[in-house]
Structure 1
Amino acid sequence: MTPRQEPERYTVVSADCHAGADLRDYRPYLASRHHGAFDAWAAAYTNPFADLQAPEADRNWDSGRRLAELEQDGIVAEVVFPNTVPPFYPSTSLTAAQPTAEEYELRWAGLQAHNRWMADFCSLAPGRRAGTIQILLGDLDAAVAEIRRCRAAGLTGGVVLPGVPPGSPVPELYSAAYDPLWAVCAELDVPVNHHGGSAGPVLGEEPAARAVFMVETTWFSHRALWHLVFGGAFRRFPGLRLVLTEQGSGWIPGVLDMLDYYHQRLVGAATRASTAESKFGAGLAEAMGAGPRAVWERNCFVGASFMRAHEVPLRERIGLDKIMWGSDFPHDEGTFPYTTEALRTAYAGLPYAEVAAMVGGNAARVYGFDLPALDALAAKTGPLVSDVAQPLPTPPPGATSPAFATGGSVRVW
């Protein structure tokens, strides 16, 4: 039998891209009863984000420009998270706090408008965009209904799980109150995405606060993992899948070691009467089922946006079938227009099969892309395997992505 020849180019699926409508283009996606409130809100809104201002902003909603730039960068498909500001929000929804009871109706209407827009946007590039579904946690019946509606409308990128910082007006994520949400996601095979930057407390605008945010933001995003693991969500719903996106990947082996340690320690303590720790482990084994590492191996994945070179040696401990590279397009910390160079920085010298899985195959499996169809597109535009195999001597001039950052000994926690 003749060995199968490796393709000349990689099929790259970005597991982390962002898009959204221009501000006033959300209006048709709102119920007419909200139009007056929307007009007043839009007239008063001042956009504080440079990347949402011309000429770069239309990368978020200009389908033709977006496809052309992604293809130029070697990317043939994308998982699409929100980016622009949805109706009635003061800022982007990914980083927004849970709304108060007074804010809920309009904020929920704004997210639903974005979901409707997202479905239309994805329909402009069939098979190449897996749009995500935004929900709120204040009304789980409404959230479940929206997931069903959006999945039927063609959004295949999974749910964006809102952040729940300490002190939020909704239960912590380990609560069984969220079982209706986990149940519908498991039933419909909808991944649950928890995106970086979405779960930290509000810290203010002082220089120290901004620095503390950078240090802590990924840690707060990681919390969803141990909340769902210790909360037993994966025992009750074995088909549930969790994806942790744009929060690094090098932290995962160490955190799994830590979670296994606490699991074993607390479960063991629960079997010993009258110890100081016995109360902490009471009922944990029954609630959780399998231990943290087994849950990770069965149910969890990482959206490894602009994966850095120092994280790559940990790939087997993370799980080669878990890692899904992302470009973070169109953010300036993303790899555009230097995706091939970013892949060289991370993956030069690795076996073809490993790179192919991390840059496209895993994401195609998790999000339901038709990989053979994408292979045909990538045969024309994907990064050359021979190019990615060559180490990159120096970062491209002007590159702003952390993919090219030095200081490889720093671990992202």
Structure 2
Amino acid sequence: MAGQQTALKSIDNTAPVYDGPIFDGDTHIQEKDYSFFSKYLPEKYHREWLPARKRGEDGKFGLFVGETCVQNADIREDGKIPPPGKLKEWLMAINTGIAVDASADVTLDMYERDARVAKMREFGVDGSIMFVGEFVATFGVLGVLADQKGPEGMNAVFHAWNQYLVEEWGLNVEDRVYATPILALNDVDWAVQEAKWLVENGVRVVVMPMGPVNGKAPADPAFDPVWQVLNDAGVVVTFHVSEANFMHPLIELWGEKPMMSRREGQTAWQWMFCYSEIPVMMTMASFVYWNFFERFPNIKIASVENGAEWLPRCLYKMDKMRGMARNGYWPMGQLKERPSAIFKRHCFVVAYPEDDIRKIVEDIGTSDCILMGSDYPHAEGVAQPRDFADEALRGMSEEDIRKIMFENGRRMLPKGRTGLPG
């Protein structure tokens, strides 16, 4: 990119040492506590909707929404977290018997704005998208409660989170940290007003739950008033890995229970079919097949922390099924080009560092839609964003490495823009 210098060296021609700027597509807040919810969530919602760490009636400590325990939130009462980027090392230690510290203190940069900006500078990160932390585990419970009680309480919780970001972080911090407020489509009128308020406060990227809403695809024209607001402002829409509530009936049909503890109750079958890859494939393919990007060409969509191994097969199948359905029903009209071409132009995918990214790029014929993500400060990613190149991009061309480590993300979220993207 113009004005950016990227230095790339190599070790035995396979392990890149990337010295250029970084765009990190997946970072997180690590919530130190939830006291801000008491401040921003109106008191009338506290009993049934207030997120908090506490002990339930059974004496078990956990993350709660009101009095409902979030079973799939794995948190510690002492506030310790797994060390950033150390999951693989910790898992290897279990097999070898070598002692590895499995806990770390939450540091200031994980929950405070100025310290986070300083940490990104230290890491050489030019731009980063910052998502919710353990609060993402509440999405499933909030969705279930919204189905039972109506969306008003859920909307209030999401707005409280969004207000916390606006007032204590800012939605665009020096073009280096882009915080992600939450939007849900359950109540279109609320979503339109929330989207307008976010745009007024400089939003660049939002995160939304995956899947259908109220029995409709998210690209159904019923939701067009929301999309129009985001399109006019050129906002990026992300789908971060989280509980996919629309898969719950499927889980129950197979005789299993949804939203169970990931350590004690979530089965391998659920991990394989109901979490991450398949829900996000269904969601993103729906946008393409519903001709969403012809109506809203200024919106870009990104899959985050769902890996990228699914991408080649998904693009191939999207093209093939377009042919199979050529004489079928197209809700918003037949596509004018291959679904894969539409996807590559409008959609991005944050890869895992353990993905075979070189093969993925070879299979889809481009690196233009692939982003790196460190997952900082979580344990599952890499300890520092620059480690991603060494771990995930071995044997790739300098051009592809530069695109994945920086240029694709910066193209998705250009600097200094509050309106339409370039």
TM bucket (normalised to shorter chain) is 0.7 to 0.9
Preserved contact between residue 303 and residue 326 of structure 1 (Cα < 8 Å): yes
Q: Secondary structure at the match of 2:267?
A: helix
CA distance, structure 2, for counterparts of residue 302 and residue 40 of structure 1: 30
Distance 1:334 1:66 in 2: 17
> 2:35 matched to 1:15?
no
Of 379, 382, 397 in structure 2, the residue corresponding to residue 335 of structure 1 is 382
Residue 370 of structure 1 and its aligned partner are, at CA, apart by 5.3
Matched-pair contact (CA < 8 Å) for 2:348–2:369: yes
Structure 2 residue 285 is the aligned partner of structure 1 residue 226: yes
Please, which of 124, 132, 136 is the counterpart of residue 82 of structure 1? 132
In structure 2, relative to structure 1, the CA distance for the partners of 1:285 and 1:68 (3 Å cut) is closer
> Are residues 308 and 138 of structure 1, via their aligned partners in 2, closer, same or farther at CA, if it must alter by over 3 Å?
same
Matching residue of 2:99: none
The alpha-carbon deviation at position 335 of structure 1 amounts to: 0.9
Aligned position for 2:405: 359
For residues 319 and 95 of structure 1, the distance between their equivalents in structure 2, rounded to whole angstroms, comes to 38
Give distance in 2, aligned partners of 1:96 and 1:170.
17
Cα shift at 1:68: 4.7
1:44 to 1:109, Cα distance in 2 relative to 1, 3 A: farther
Q: 8 Å contact 1:13–1:75 — kept in the other structure?
A: yes
Distance 1:310 1:211 in 2: 22
Q: Secondary structure at the match of 2:308?
A: coil
Contact in 2 for aligned 1:97/1:163 (Cα 8 Å): no
The CA deviation string for residues 105-143 of structure 1, in whole angstroms up to 9 with x for no partner, is: 222111111111112344394221111121222111211
Q: 2: distance between equivalents of 1:283 and 1:62?
A: 47
Q: C-alpha separation between the residues in 1 aligned to 2:308 and 2:281?
A: 10
1:351-389 alpha-carbon deviations (Å, 9 max, x no partner): 333222211221112123359xxxxxxxxxxxxxxxxxx
Letter in structure 1 aligned against 2:299:
L
- Equivalent position SS for 2:154: helix
Paired residues of 1:222 and 1:247 also in contact (CA < 8 A)? no
Question: Superposed, which structure 2 residues align to 1:375-390 within 5 Å?
Answer: none
**What's the counterpart of residue 101 of structure 2?**
none
Determine the C-alpha separation between the residues in 1 that align with 2:49 and 2:333.
Answer: 49
Q: Which is further off, 208-217 or 226-235?
A: 208-217
User: Structure 1 residues 351 and 177, CA, compared in 2 at 3 Å: closer, same or farther?
Assistant: same
Task: Determine which of 150, 156, 164 is the counterpart of 1:109.
Answer: 156
2:175 maps to which residue? 127
**Counterpart of 2:36?**
25
2:414 paired with 1:368: yes
- The alignment partner of 1:335 has SS state of coil
Q: Look up the match of 1:312.
A: 358
Root-mean-square deviation (Å): 3.3
Extract unaligned runs of 5+ from structure 1.
Answer: 271-280, 372-413
Structure 2 unmatched ranges of 5 or more: 9-18, 57-61, 64-72, 81-104, 249-256, 418-422
Q: Take 1:321 and 1:285, find their aligned partners in 2: how far apart are those partners?
A: 27
Q: Which amino acid is 2:389 matched to?
A: L
Query: What is the deviation of 1:295?
Result: 1.3
In the alignment, what sits opposite 1:240? 299
1:231-259 alpha-carbon deviations (Å, 9 max, x no partner): 22223223332211211223212211111
Question: Cα–Cα, structure 1 residues 247 and 210, in superposed 2: closer, same or farther, change >3 Å?
Answer: same
Amino acid at match of 2:346: N
1:153–1:5: structure 2 CA closer, same or farther, 3 Å change rule? closer
Counterpart in 2 of 1:199?
244
Find 1:251's aligned residue among 310, 313, 318.
Answer: 310
Moved more, 281-290 or 227-236: 281-290
- Cα–Cα, structure 1 residues 194 and 309, in superposed 2: closer, same or farther, change >3 Å? closer
TM superposition score normalised by structure 1: 0.73
Given that 2:6 and 2:402 are in contact with CA atoms closer than 8 Å, whether structure 1 keeps it comes out as no
- State the alpha-carbon separation in 2 of the partners of residues 35 and 14 from structure 1: 35
Q: Does 1:144 align with 2:186?
A: no
* C-alpha distance 340-261 of structure 1, shift in aligned 2 (>3 A): same
Report the 3-state secondary structure (helix = DSSP H, G, I; strand = E; otherwise coil) of the residue aligned with 2:23. Answer: strand
Change in 2 beyond 3 A, CA 1:319/1:177: farther
Alpha-carbon separation, structure 2, partners of 1:208 and 1:36: 27
2:12 alignment counterpart:
none
2:268 aligned partner: 211
Contact kept, 8 Å, 1:18 with 1:60, in 2: the verdict is: yes
